[in-house]
């Protein structure tokens, strides 16, 4: 599988009108998530993705939480996705692996679908297209990831087929899922912040997420690697 790099120019987008802000929901845990830094959300998402794809890890594909977290830091920073899009993409990812992939024989699942990073990228693209009036072109996503547009299209169509194109999600449904699935181990995560490794990750996340939404990230062919899907 090809390594994923980041390159090209990206402009910010913050339109999230199609998914009302979760801060409007009177759920204590969700309120806490909204008030905390993006670090909490990234760690929660990486933990969920790692748990769902652990059985798909191989010598070539690393689905560990640490590798996923590094990937999320970079993809969210460079695409400048809103939190609502991040949550919706994670919701699609959970649907894929809980409702579809777990009931299929592993031998029938394509290699790209065993990579948590590649499949989350697909879900992020789908969520972004569904939730934005003006979305990135496939060429732009290719610049963001370094993957050929053809490969991204193949993965996207596969994911859409497995989701049966059922992309609309009620706000109440997304909020309930966020509380019952994504935030189920919030207290454990909070206590784990004391570890040195998590402290370093937190510092790295905050360094990236403090970037102004008006910044334009420019990356050339020698830009820092986003992730290595084959490792």
- Whole-number pLDDT of residue 124: 94
The CATH number linked to 39 is 1.10.472.10
pTM of the model as a whole = 0.67
- Whole-number pLDDT of residue 37: 61
The domain containing residue 167 runs over which residues? 4-227
How many structural domains are present in the chain?
Answer: 1
Phi, psi dihedrals of residue 4, rounded to the nearest 5°: -110, 130
Q: What is the mean pLDDT of each run of 10 residues along the chain (231 residues)?
A: 39 36 41 59 90 86 90 87 89 87 75 90 92 81 87 92 88 86 59 43 44 29 37 38
- Whole-number pLDDT of residue 89: 94
- The CA distance from 156 to 125, in Å, is 8
- Whole-number pLDDT of residue 19: 41
């Amino acid at each position: 599988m090809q390594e994923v790099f980041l390159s090209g120019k990206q402009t910010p987008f913050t339109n999230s009108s199609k998914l009302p802000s979760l801060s409007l929901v009177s759920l204590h845990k969700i309120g806490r998530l909204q008030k905390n830094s993006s670090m909490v959300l990234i760690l929660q998402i990486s933990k969920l993705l790692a748990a769902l794809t652990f059985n798909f890890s191989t010598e070539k594909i690393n689905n560990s939480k640490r590798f996923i977290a590094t990937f999320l830091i970079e993809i969210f920073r460079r695409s400048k996705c809103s939190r609502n899009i991040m949550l919706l993409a994670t919701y699609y990812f959970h649907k894929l692996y809980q409702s579809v992939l777990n009931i299929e024989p592993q031998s029938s699942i394509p290699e790209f679908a065993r990579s948590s990073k590649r499949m989350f990228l697909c879900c992020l693209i789908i969520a972004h297209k569904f939730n934005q009036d003006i979305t990135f072109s496939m060429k732009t996503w290719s610049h963001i990831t370094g993957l050929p547009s053809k490969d991204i299209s193949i993965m996207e169509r596969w994911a859409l087929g497995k989701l049966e194109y059922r992309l609309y999600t009620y706000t109440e449904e997304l909020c309930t899922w966020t509380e019952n699935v994504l935030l189920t181990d919030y207290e454990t995560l909070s206590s784990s912040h004391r570890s040195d490794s998590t402290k370093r990750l937190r510092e790295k996340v905050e360094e990236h997420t403090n970037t102004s939404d008006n910044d334009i990230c420019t990356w050339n062919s020698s830009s820092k690697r986003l992730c290595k899907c084959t490792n």
